[in-house]
Amino acid sequence: MEYTGKIMTSRGHVFQFNGQGTHFLSIAIVAELSLLAVQFIIGMWMNLFAVYPSYNNAFPMYGMMDIMFSIPELMVHMMIGVLIGLLSLMIFMMTLMLGDYKSMVVSAIASISILLAGLSGLEFIFSNFQNNTFSFTMSIGFIIAVISFVFLLYSISIESKAAHLHS
């Protein structure tokens, strides 16, 4: 007997989430953790070595394009961040289909922390790279996401092993 989760749709259909689904979820979480590691490395590179443009007054409307072309690492960092955000939403949807409340909560915490990190990153840019509170909040969101996804991966592997033992 494989570990299955069920979810009822508004039309009354039931989706099954079996052992292959948990395997795919595990792969998605490992991919997410890998992207988060790359994101961390790029973020630290920019923190230590990137030279940010300086604006005397308020952040100009055209400033974002200027920054993207002058700091290509930032463009890569933001694109990977969008991918991380989308993948975290996919993982959250998969935990909904799994039907395990604990997994849903942990995945929701991870997704919210990634959203928090992304919004903090944007605020850091709009502060003319001066308000380190946003940079710190970005790092807190990152570490909460990493811890959440590691815990989620561990709990899924434990549940899958327990399901195989009962079959």
The domain locations on the chain are 20-45+68-165
Under the banding of pLDDT at 50, 70 and 90, the label for residue 65 is confident
Structural Rg of the chain based on CA atoms: 19
What pTM was computed for the model? 0.83
H helices of the chain, in order, are 19-49, 63-70, 72-98, 101-126, 132-165
Secondary structure (3-state) at 17: strand
Residue with tokens 């790029």: 42
Under the banding of pLDDT at 50, 70 and 90, the label for residue 13 is very low
CB 92 within 8 A of CB 107: yes
% of the chain at pLDDT higher than 90: 59
